[in-house]
Structure 1
Amino acid sequence: MKLIRWIKKNRMKSAIAVVLLIWYYFCLPKELFKEPYATVIESKEGELLSARIAADGQWRFPAQDNVPYKFKQCITHFEDEYFYKHPGFNPVSIVKAIQDNYKAGKVVRGGSTLTQQVIRLSRNKNRTYWEKLVELVLATRLELRYSKDEILNLYAAHAPYGGNVVGLEMASWRYFGVQPHQLSWAETATLAVLPNAPGLIYPGRNQDELVAKRNGLLKKLFEEGVIDATTYELSIQEEPPQKPFDLPQTAPHLLQNITIKRGEGHRVKTTVNAALQRQVNQIAKRYYNEYRQTEIHNLAILVVDVKTRNIVAYTGNAPTDRVHQKDVDIITAPRSTGSVLKPLLFASMLDAGELLPNTLIADIPAQIAGYSPKNYDMTYDGAVPAQKALSRSLNIPAVLMLKEYGIERFYDRLQDFKLNDVNKGANHYGLSLILGGAESNLWDLCQTYAGMTSTLNYFTKNDAKYRTNEFAELNWDSTRKRNFGEETYNKPELGAGAIWLTYNAMKEVNRPEEDGAWRFYDSSLEIAWKTGTSFGGRDAWAIGTSPRYVVGVWVGNASGEGRPSLTGVGSAAPVLFDVFHLLPHQPWFKPPLNDLEEVAVCSKSGHLAGENCTAVMQWVPPAGKKTTVCPYHMLVHLDASLQYRVNSNCEPVAAIVNKPWFVLPPVMEWYYKKLHTDYMPLPPVREDCNEGSDTVMDFIYPRNNSKIYLTKDFNGELQPVIFKAAHTHTNAKLFWYINNEYLGMTQTFHEMPVEVKTGQYYITITDESGNEITRSVEIISK
């Protein structure tokens, strides 16, 4: 009541008091420090990985949550012994400072508390008595907003330490090469006295004065019982800082990635394992020093924890130089995919029931809509099991598989996998999509393989269930956890069975024995892996997965300049295996039996078994039961000698021997039997029998309705076109015609060179039995 009566009686004074209170409440800015900060990334253990200088050219780290105990003791005993007792200013210190300065005729002592110094650092104004008064008022307001430890954190983050070094953390790295909590008492004392006189820190200058100030503080700490006598004696013997240390730059390209996504001035605690990151960097450096001898200057390595989808190692480039673009982050850069998409097609076809693991795929010269794929070694197997084609990375079977599966369909599947750089439409890529015609990056590819691996792991461990967001984005932020969606019995992208069968195929190594790179392969290391090499030796890939980790490697030149020695198997695979040897070894994937069914398949063709083939049991995805029954086994009618085919027109039915026979189409057979000495061509039809028209011969080259470009030799002379054909009978004679004009006869090896001019032609071949085939071609001169 008395207060109300006083307010009514003293309205003017009350109004002034209210205004002053409102001013006092709002006088302290919400954002005390507006200076830009350095961008800092730490490992999951809190170890500094890399940092980028602040926009104003100062090394100023964002404030930490706490200040180390040693620095807290040192700074308060040196600057403000009553820090934890005063309200923001210390009247006794102010009076003593005025007296001492008056007697000396100059400023010899300051009376500012640490709280006032925080205000002074934030305002950065000229030091006048009026400014001192303002600082005092704002200091009391600061004490009401923040705790004592928070105020100390602000001081530690913004105290000047000479040159462009600001704050305790940066000073600790710059002058001693360690984190603040790792400093000794002598080192901490040095950094406690420096903000009072930062000019003392320059190496080789003022060393005695700096040591004297430091030792004075250490003596005070000893006298007040903060440190013991032994610690004091040892501390004063330590040398002052000499040559400045460089900041750690263990993951500079991850820092670059984070800065792009989050902006500058943040401190980010990443998911990176610091020890593993250093080891991966050492591997990158070792291979860089080896590869640069052949003018290969860049490489990148990414390691992902499948369970969490966390990045545990991120080496974005080799330790090369600026001329060779050392600052380019290869992990996020789009590059030609080579063959690394082949497992995705294999798994998709398995999952859709359009392929079984050992289904024979044609491996013959092919021309599809003007596109002529070639195998890397320029050879042909005729026919090869699908999983062997995958493990050997054969191009022609992959193209034929893509043609069967559908380009648009596979393109849509890649969008489901979030391969963001495959973005130009299916028609743009065509069949080259599976051979490196598209671009992707190491981040997206590792994300895709991690999603596949996690799909398989979760299914086998959680009662045949999937998750709706299994192909989640990779993560580098330790404060975030990925949401993998809800449990479901519906497969998200691929079924676990198809993934398991694909990984089994990727584990099988079937490469040429003369390939020296395989000395790096350790068969005891069970991983599913795939290499890729882009056209012209521009990109070498290797991506592998165990149940716990995915590792991706890219090797090449950031400029896109190719090298003939650059291959996925020879350049990227050795790096991949060295990285996997750093990781804990994992047992192989458990079979997802709830997404597999055992069926009978032909042992030779890999198709579902019919009645005419020898069957073996094999695990396949449920949809695999709807694939076609083997088309390559037929029941052949033979005479008693088993040398000729017969029929009821020329042999008594009772004398006919019926025998199952494995028969490939002529062109496939022509190449296949060269590599399979046990392959038995169909016996010829006995001359007295009238057999129906079988497909006994076919063109190897050219394909029907194709365009053939004439080439010239070094003398400018046009070279002949060489047509090729295959016949099921080894010694068959073939007769060749062009536009009804006879060219000649071939036997055993059916190749016919023809000198022609530009124009449209019909090539016709007949054999001794009257079988005939024709091809239409257009000859074009370049």
Structure 2
Amino acid sequence: MKKKLFKYRKVILAALFVLSVAYYFCLPKTLFEDPYATVLNTAEGHLLSARIADDGQWRFPEETALPDKYIQAVITFEDKNFYWHPGVDPLAFGRAMVQNLRAGHVVSGGSTLSMQVIRLHRKGKSRTIWEKLVEVVLATRLELRHSKTEILELYASHAPFGGNTVGLSAASWRYFERQPAELSWAEAALFAVLPNQPSMLFPGRYERALMAKRNRLLERLYAKGALDATALELAKSEPLPLAPNELPQMANHLLGYASVNGYKGQHLRTTLDRYLQAKVNKVLQAHHALLKTDGIHNAAALVLDVKANRVLAYAGNVPHTGAEHAENVDVIQAPRSTGSILKLFLYASMLDEGMILPKTLLPDVPMFFEDFAPKNFTRRYDGAVHADDALSRSLNIPMVHLLKMYGYPRFHEQLRNLGMSTLSKPAGHYGLTLVLGGAEGTLWDMANMYAAMSRTLSGSGEADEKFAEFVLNNEGVHSNSRKEEPIKASLSAASVWFTFQAMLEVYRPEEDASWKMYSSARKIAWKTGTSFGYRDGWAIGATPEYVVAVWVGNADGEGRPGLTGIEAAAPIMFDIFDALPETSWFLPPRNELTMAAVDRQSGYLASPYSIAVDTVFIPKAGLRTAASPYHQRVHLNARETERINTNCAEGDELISKNWFVLPAKQAHYFKQRNPAYQELPPLAPGCGTADLWVMDMVYPEPNASLYLPIEQDGAQGQLVFEVTHRSADATLYWHLDNQYLGTTETRHSMELSPAAGPHTITITDQQGNELVRRFEVIRSSD
């Protein structure tokens, strides 16, 4: 016999080796390849939203921590020797085998929890003796690979709980609207017995049988000492759930955004605040009830925690408006025309680079740039306006003037470096319209860019910081939830300070007496924007603690009268701020400020000819700006009615004064809004003929290229030339290419139809002052 065994030793060893290898590899590395639902929870574990798995099952991602009540209940019911056997309970299995052999078919499983995990992995194959033996082998292999805790987690994650509900987490939320950690003894016992016969949880059919089964398990737990008599009676009195509940859908758009950013099928702990998210949804719904009467059906809101750089509320659209109004569109991530929202970045950038001071006087007069003629929203002109006032009132023409100074290619690059991700076309595509809504931006980018400014001013900003995070990892710290490029530029604290100071006094329409009801008692730096055609209304507000960003409009781009940022979006923003805790205000960045003498009228650095000077704080970079160009030293006659000089008057007749002088074009509009403005007196006869400030052309701009319009009847239209003059009773003489055209008085405009090609128009007054403007007509007909 020994010789025989020795003879076949190699064969036996080879067979054992093959069996060992087969045993080692008999269990796939990944047991379950099932798709999972995508789940959003708060950091505390409260469910915000969930999206069903691709196979139509409510199967949440695998459990990583099971509540003690459920563990005790499921082990007591399914596998009392779970912690002691190697995957198979010999006594239970032997008893089941005897019963099955006597019956001729499977009547008792004798399955351990490990075997049930294998059965779930094998998708519930037919209950035969051979299949049971396979489960035995694979269960022992499972025990060698996984700990008992891990096996319990696999079972709880993939056990069926009736209908299309799979796993303990999904069942806990669908049947009891709470997380597993909050289950009662009765609920834990129900979930322990239910996978054994999941079809029993059917309203109106099996309640008595299922309750009896649950209560028997509760009595066994009582017998083990897991709960006392009082807890037992209370648990047995709890009713069964009637049917699965709808899962919360408080942050569906963030759920969708997370899914496309690499988190599909994951259980996410988000930074969202559950109560604030619910409040924001309610605010949007309340305002939507009014907005929809005007044909405005969509709105979005985003709330950021500035200091922690986290998303606190993310409402990509008004909930429950219906598919016909595109309620599933996440407008927070949708590029929309920016309107005036970018103006503060231009203002801050120019302060940052020492190109302007906060109150630098800017022209606010009609401007024409070939085929672009910006207009203020009110269609009125101030002639000249301080830069901070232009920002707070959101005046278009002064901002276009600033952009022309700064350069739109430079501003284009600055916006990209600050984090604006939607500028996909070269700067020339946008041109000077860039600051007026000629580019599209997302609410996500805009809110984060505003938040970066807040962090810079509060001293917590970093040049390479990312946009706000919305996902937490298991340690409760930020994960890389969005793969953005680092922010490459930051603005100085001084420039942000003056920008936010200007935004404290955002212009409220004088005709809107009801606006006061929207005002907030707290200090908020806020800006609104309205796109061309009334398609988009924006409102973004910032404090040291929060940024609230709101967009209102129609997802399909339909414009509606009254769809403006200040009327439609700002009230929502203020209501959301009212739902937030009290906020503070920024401290001035003293280390980046310096005292300087500033001309009160022009806002420039004071010149020797300034009339009134204020010593104020300005950004240190502002020391590079020029002195006031609007003041000059003039010499007047004794009555101060005419300008004179030594060529036409004796020295003792001269009265010298400093005078605030605007160019004629600006003065024309400025004095209409500022009656106290004093025009420069005219030159006295015999004191010279050249007076460069006396008149200016409103239209066209120097060296303009003009198109002759075509009237509705097809006839050739005319160009309108307009001139302003300081003297209200001046008579002007018009010449085109040295050919006399006629005279004008009071209102100086003339309609002309020049031929195609270059031309020169010359205008003179009675004193011989001359204005020459060259232009080109591109075509005279079409």
- The TM tier, using the shorter chain, reads over 0.9
Q: How does 1:555-570 map to 2 (within 5 A)?
A: 555-570=552-567
Aligned in 2, Cα 1:427/1:8: closer, same or farther, shift over 3 Å? farther
Instruction: Give secondary structure in 2 for the equivalent of 1:467.
Output: coil
Does the alignment pair 1:394 with 2:395? yes
In the alignment, what sits opposite 1:98? Answer: 97
C-alpha contact 1:45 1:274 (8 A) present in aligned 2: no
The CA deviation string for residues 36-64 of structure 1, in whole angstroms up to 9 with x for no partner, is 11111211222111111112221111112
Residue of structure 1 aligned with 2:549, choices 548, 552, 556: 552
Bigger shift: 158-167 or 183-192? 183-192
Q: How does 1:319-338 map to 2 (within 5 A)?
A: 319=319, 320-338=321-339
2: distance between equivalents of 1:414 and 1:311? Answer: 22
Does the alignment pair 1:173 with 2:142? no
1: distance between equivalents of 2:373 and 2:291? Answer: 32
Q: How does 1:467-506 map to 2 (within 5 A)?
A: 467-470=462-465, 472-479=466-473, 480-481=477-478, 492-506=489-503
Shift of 1:743: 4.8
Shift of 1:519: 2.8
C-alpha contact 2:368 2:699 (8 A) present in aligned 1: no
2: distance between equivalents of 1:258 and 1:517? Answer: 40
Residue of structure 2 aligned with 1:651, choices 625, 649, 652: 649
2: distance between equivalents of 1:781 and 1:42? Answer: 66
In the alignment, what sits opposite 1:487? Answer: none
The CA deviation string for residues 681-722 of structure 1, in whole angstroms up to 9 with x for no partner, is 011222353364332001112333341543647x77777654
1: distance between equivalents of 2:707 and 2:383? Answer: 23
Instruction: Give secondary structure in 2 for the equivalent of 1:62.
Output: coil
Residue of structure 2 aligned with 1:531, choices 525, 528, 531: 528
Q: Which amino acid aligns with 2:651?
A: V
1: distance between equivalents of 2:191 and 2:261? Answer: 34
C-alpha contact 1:758 1:781 (8 A) present in aligned 2: no
In the alignment, what sits opposite 1:428? Answer: 429
Shift of 1:8: 11
In the alignment, what sits opposite 2:67? Answer: 68
Instruction: Give secondary structure in 2 for the equivalent of 1:726.
Output: strand
Aligned in 2, Cα 1:571/1:261: closer, same or farther, shift over 3 Å? same
Instruction: Give secondary structure in 2 for the equivalent of 1:764.
Output: strand
Instruction: Give secondary structure in 2 for the equivalent of 1:553.
Output: strand
Instruction: Give secondary structure in 1 for the equivalent of 2:80.
Output: coil
Bigger shift: 700-709 or 660-669? 700-709
Q: Which amino acid aligns with 2:160?
A: P
In the alignment, what sits opposite 1:369? Answer: 370
2: distance between equivalents of 1:36 and 1:374? Answer: 55
C-alpha contact 2:106 2:127 (8 A) present in aligned 1: no
The CA deviation string for residues 505-545 of structure 1, in whole angstroms up to 9 with x for no partner, is 11122332213562344352212111111110111111221
Instruction: Give secondary structure in 2 for the equivalent of 1:236.
Output: helix
Instruction: Give secondary structure in 2 for the equivalent of 1:233.
Output: helix
2: distance between equivalents of 1:171 and 1:7? Answer: 59
2: distance between equivalents of 1:85 and 1:661? Answer: 100
Q: Which amino acid aligns with 1:450?
A: A
Shift of 1:170: 1.1
Shift of 1:417: 1.3
1: distance between equivalents of 2:764 and 2:528? Answer: 44
The CA deviation string for residues 129-161 of structure 1, in whole angstroms up to 9 with x for no partner, is 122112112212222222222211111110011
In the alignment, what sits opposite 1:578? Answer: 575
Instruction: Give secondary structure in 1 for the equivalent of 2:459.
Output: helix
1: distance between equivalents of 2:697 and 2:638? Answer: 33
What's the RMSD between the two structures over aligned residues? Answer: 2.4
Shift of 1:403: 0.7
2: distance between equivalents of 1:433 and 1:607? Answer: 26
Shift of 1:747: 3.5
Shift of 1:195: 0.6
Shift of 1:197: 0.6
In the alignment, what sits opposite 2:269? Answer: 269
Shift of 1:618: 2.4
Gaps of 5+ in 2: 481-486
In the alignment, what sits opposite 1:462? Answer: none
Q: Which amino acid aligns with 1:390?
A: L
In the alignment, what sits opposite 1:415? Answer: 416
In the alignment, what sits opposite 1:182? Answer: 182
Bigger shift: 732-741 or 307-316? 732-741
Q: How does 1:8-47 map to 2 (within 5 A)?
A: 10-47=9-46
Aligned in 2, Cα 1:492/1:740: closer, same or farther, shift over 3 Å? closer
C-alpha contact 1:357 1:606 (8 A) present in aligned 2: yes
Shift of 1:732: 2.2
Does the alignment pair 1:288 with 2:285? no
In the alignment, what sits opposite 1:210? Answer: 210
1: distance between equivalents of 2:625 and 2:470? Answer: 43
In the alignment, what sits opposite 2:222? Answer: 222
2: distance between equivalents of 1:700 and 1:628? Answer: 26
Identity between Structure 1 and Structure 2 (%)? 48
In the alignment, what sits opposite 2:341? Answer: 340
The CA deviation string for residues 350-400 of structure 1, in whole angstroms up to 9 with x for no partner, is 111111110011010001233211111111110000111011111111111
2: distance between equivalents of 1:646 and 1:41? Answer: 79
Residue of structure 1 aligned with 2:680, choices 657, 679, 682: 682
C-alpha contact 1:360 1:383 (8 A) present in aligned 2: yes
Bigger shift: 77-86 or 192-201? 77-86
Bigger shift: 219-228 or 186-195? 219-228
In the alignment, what sits opposite 2:483? Answer: none
1: distance between equivalents of 2:108 and 2:185? Answer: 25
The CA deviation string for residues 259-297 of structure 1, in whole angstroms up to 9 with x for no partner, is 111152211211111121111111121122221111111
Q: Which amino acid aligns with 2:539?
A: A
C-alpha contact 2:106 2:129 (8 A) present in aligned 1: no
Q: Which amino acid aligns with 1:419?
A: M
In the alignment, what sits opposite 1:768? Answer: 766
In the alignment, what sits opposite 1:311? Answer: 311
Does the alignment pair 1:111 with 2:105? no
Q: Which amino acid aligns with 2:605?
A: L
Shift of 1:766: 1.9
Q: Which amino acid aligns with 1:684?
A: P
2: distance between equivalents of 1:203 and 1:428? Answer: 63
C-alpha contact 2:46 2:178 (8 A) present in aligned 1: no
The CA deviation string for residues 574-618 of structure 1, in whole angstroms up to 9 with x for no partner, is 111111222222221111111122111100000110011121122
C-alpha contact 2:663 2:693 (8 A) present in aligned 1: yes
In the alignment, what sits opposite 1:54? Answer: 53
The CA deviation string for residues 171-191 of structure 1, in whole angstroms up to 9 with x for no partner, is 122222222223322222222
C-alpha contact 2:735 2:761 (8 A) present in aligned 1: yes
TM-score (norm 1): 0.93
Q: Which amino acid aligns with 1:736?
A: W
The CA deviation string for residues 77-122 of structure 1, in whole angstroms up to 9 with x for no partner, is 1111222222211111123333445666765433101111011101
C-alpha contact 2:392 2:507 (8 A) present in aligned 1: yes
Q: Which amino acid aligns with 1:477?
A: V
In the alignment, what sits opposite 1:730? Answer: 728
Instruction: Give secondary structure in 2 for the equivalent of 1:379.
Output: coil
Shift of 1:467: 3.5
2: distance between equivalents of 1:516 and 1:132? Answer: 80
1: distance between equivalents of 2:470 and 2:506? Answer: 33
C-alpha contact 1:517 1:570 (8 A) present in aligned 2: no
2: distance between equivalents of 1:600 and 1:756? Answer: 51
Aligned in 2, Cα 1:428/1:492: closer, same or farther, shift over 3 Å? closer
2: distance between equivalents of 1:492 and 1:104? Answer: 79
Bigger shift: 426-435 or 28-37? 28-37
C-alpha contact 2:506 2:526 (8 A) present in aligned 1: no
Instruction: Give secondary structure in 2 for the equivalent of 1:362.
Output: strand
Shift of 1:482: 7.3
Aligned in 2, Cα 1:322/1:758: closer, same or farther, shift over 3 Å? farther
Q: Which amino acid aligns with 1:561?
A: E
Bigger shift: 130-139 or 662-671? 130-139
Instruction: Give secondary structure in 1 for the equivalent of 2:585.
Output: coil
C-alpha contact 1:647 1:691 (8 A) present in aligned 2: no
Shift of 1:664: 0.1
Q: How many residues align?
A: 762
Instruction: Give secondary structure in 2 for the equivalent of 1:308.
Output: coil
C-alpha contact 2:463 2:490 (8 A) present in aligned 1: no
